[in-house]
Amino acid sequence: MTHPAAGGLTGPPRLPSPYDHGPGAQSANLADILERVLDKGVVIAGDIRINLLDIELLTIKLRLLVASVDKAKEMGIDWWEHDPSLSSRAARPERSLADENERLRAEIAALKAADRRPEP
C-alpha cells in the first residue's frame, strides 16, 4: 500500500477490525456492507443537497434502483423480494427453497415466542 487509496487507511491499524487489514477491507462480504451502509446508519433529513436521499424512502429507493440492474439479480442483491413491505413478489411462493426458508423462519419465530413465555 504505497499510495493512499480511495476510502483507505494509510496509517497502521490500531485496533483489530474488519476494515483495517488493507486488502481485507476489500474482501469483506459485500452483502454485509450493503445492508449496513445502505439500510442502516443515521439518516439526516431536511437539509442535504440530494433531496432524493434526505427522506425515509432512501433505502427503498436505493433498493429499487439496484433492482433495476440485471446484474443485481446475478449477484444476488434481491433481499427486497422477500420483504413484503417492499415487494408484492414477497408474498408469492416461488421456489421450494424459499418455502423451506419461510417455514423454518416461522418455526424459529414460534420457538422464540414459546421461549419468551415464563416457565411454569
Q: Smallest gap, in angstroms, from Cβ of residue 120 to other proteins?
A: 19
Whole-number minimum distance, CB 75 to other proteins, in Å?
5
Of 89 and 108, nearer to other proteins (C-beta) is: 108
Q: Is 49 or 120 the residue whose CB approaches other proteins more closely?
A: 49
Closer CB to other proteins, 75 or 89, in the complex: 75
Q: Taking Cα atoms as reference points, which of 99, 100, 82 lies closest to residue 91?
A: 82
CA distance 109 to 96: 20
- Decide whether 7 or 120 has the Cβ nearer to other proteins: 7
Residues that bind other proteins (CB under 8 A): 4-11, 13-20, 25-26, 28-44, 47-53, 58, 62, 65-66, 68-69, 71-72, 74-79, 82-83, 97, 100-101, 103-105, 107-108, 111-112, 115
Q: What distance in Å separates the CA atoms of residue 96 and residue 117, rounded to the nearest whole number? A: 32
**CA separation for the pair 67, 105 (Å, rounded):** 24
Least separation in angstroms between CB 53 and other proteins: 5
Contact 25, 8 (CB under 8 A): yes
CB of 12 to other proteins, least distance (A): 9
How far apart (Å, rounded) are the C-alpha atoms in residues 5 and 31? 22
* Distance, CA of 36 to CA of 7 (rounded, Å): 16
